[in-house]
Amino acid sequence: MTNKLTKYLRLPLKKRQVICASILDPQLKMKFFITHNSTLEYSGTLAKELESIFEKEARYHLTSSNEPSQFPQPSHEKESALIDGIYPMAHPKGNIVKNKIQKYFAEPPEVKTTDVLFWKSQATMFPTLKKMACKYLAIPATNAPSE
C-alpha cells in the first residue's frame, strides 16, 4: 500500500499542468519545489527540470496566438529550425521568455492574502505568464475523472 500511495503522490509532478499551476501561483512560485528538493531528487525530478518544463510552456504560449489569422501563412518551419540550430542566440523570443521568468522568480512571493486579480495587475509586466495563468490557474483542483 505504501508503494501505491507513493506512486500516486508523485504522479502529479510529471504533469505539466500541475507544474505550471504551482509555479504561477504567486504565493508558491518555485518555493515548494526548492523546499522539497530531496523528495524531488528521490522521484527523479529536479527543480531545474521543472523550471525548464515551465520555460518551454512559456515559449509555446509566447508564439501561439488565440486569434486565428484570416489568411494561411506559408510554413517555413524547416528553414527556421535550421537557422535556429545554427544561430541559437539570434532568436530573441527565447531570451525574452527566460528573462521574464527569472524576473518573476526574483520577486518575493506574495503574502497569503493574495488578491484574486494578481495576474490582471501583472499583465503589462508579464504578458505571457498572465496568459498562462488564465489557462492553468482556471483548472479546478478536483479535476479528476468522475466514475
Span 61-80, pLDDT tens digits: 877 654 443 334 444 455 55
Cell (9 digits) for 110 = 506574495
| Torsion, CA 47, CA 37, CA 32, CA 143, rounded to 10 | 70
What pLDDT is recorded for position 120? 86
Question: What whole-number distance in Å separates Cα of residue 137 and Cα of residue 2?
Answer: 30
Residue 136 has pLDDT above 80, yes or no: yes
The pTM is what? 0.62
Query: Do 136 and 20 meet the contact criterion of CB atoms below 8 Å apart?
Result: yes
Instruction: Report the mean per-residue pLDDT for the chain.
Output: 72
C-alpha 133/C-alpha 135 separation (Å) is 5
63-67, 74-78, 91-95, 101-105: least confident range: 74-78
The pLDDT > 70 percentage for the chain reads 56
